Amino acid sequence: MDDTLLQVQSVSKLFGEVQALNNISLTINKGEIIGLVGSNGAGKTTLLRLLAGVYRPTKGTLQMADGTTVEAGRHHLGVVPESTGLYSRLTAWENIRYHSRLHGVKDEESWARTLHYATLLDMTPHLGRHTKGFSRGMRQKTALLRALAHHPSLLLLDEPTAGLDVTSARTVKKLVKTLGEDGKTIVYSTHQLPEAEQVCSRIIIVHNGEIRADGTPQELLQLTGQTTLEEAYVTLSSDKARSVDVEEQPAKGWSRMWRGFFTPTTPAAGGDEDE
């Protein structure tokens, strides 16, 4: 049986004359936790935005297993960007419920799923609170609950523990591992190699817009002849990293669209976004 969920074939992405990604090919299989590892500006966020259908490739194709494009298959995706984009005048549950209704999910179904994952994240007592006073960790956990509420086939996480305290980061990583054990497919972007080693069964090294390696931690060690993943990463990314953060070239316009992918800014939302 074919376990392919999403296929990326010879994809490149340019912003003007700046090449953010160059000839990327990869297959995302059901039940994998895939770590996208690279320095800032390596192309990780650009790749995630392509996987979410927010960007269109300059060249190449992205296709779901059923033959549809990622744009057409957005209802299969759950996204947690680095900027959570919560509505500060809404409670945590109201943010989640609003998003779920956009996906056509009934409130009782969304609530049951939210309550299940909120228990694992120690967020149950805070679901009725307005997100304006939330800490960074609580906002990140709410965004994760929101992404899971419609039962997505593929979960895209962009630096999910960035800026979190040790306890909150550990709770998020524990949930991600639990989701993987339950058969969820997850793409986990991080510039922290030890974090990817803890959480991910497969690691993709992205450097200067290219995939330098793709495999299990043991396969990366065998490929480079090194004894630690840190040494393997240094070997695979030994050429100088580009100085321009190409992922931020279109930042002002695309940043809002990236957040708006899952929480559209409309008067019906009832408030401002919490930055």
State whether residue 215 is helix, strand or coil.
strand
Give residue 65's pLDDT: 85
How far, in whole angstroms, is CA 209 from its chain's centroid? 17
| Per-residue confidence (pLDDT) for residue 83, from 0 to 100 | 82
The CATH class of 4-258 is: alpha beta
Single-letter amino acid, residue 106? K
Region for residue 235 given its phi and psi (left: phi exceeds 0; alpha: psi -120 to 50; beta: otherwise)? alpha
Amino acid 250: pLDDT: 47
Cβ neighbour number for residue 7 with a 10 Å cutoff: 15
Q: For Cα atoms 220, 225, 230, give the angle at the middle one, nearest 5 degrees.
A: 60
User: Domain boundaries in the chain?
Assistant: 4-258
pLDDT at 92: 97
pLDDT along the chain (275 residues), means of 10: 86 94 96 94 93 94 87 85 89 96 95 96 96 92 96 93 90 94 94 91 95 95 94 91 58 49 43 48
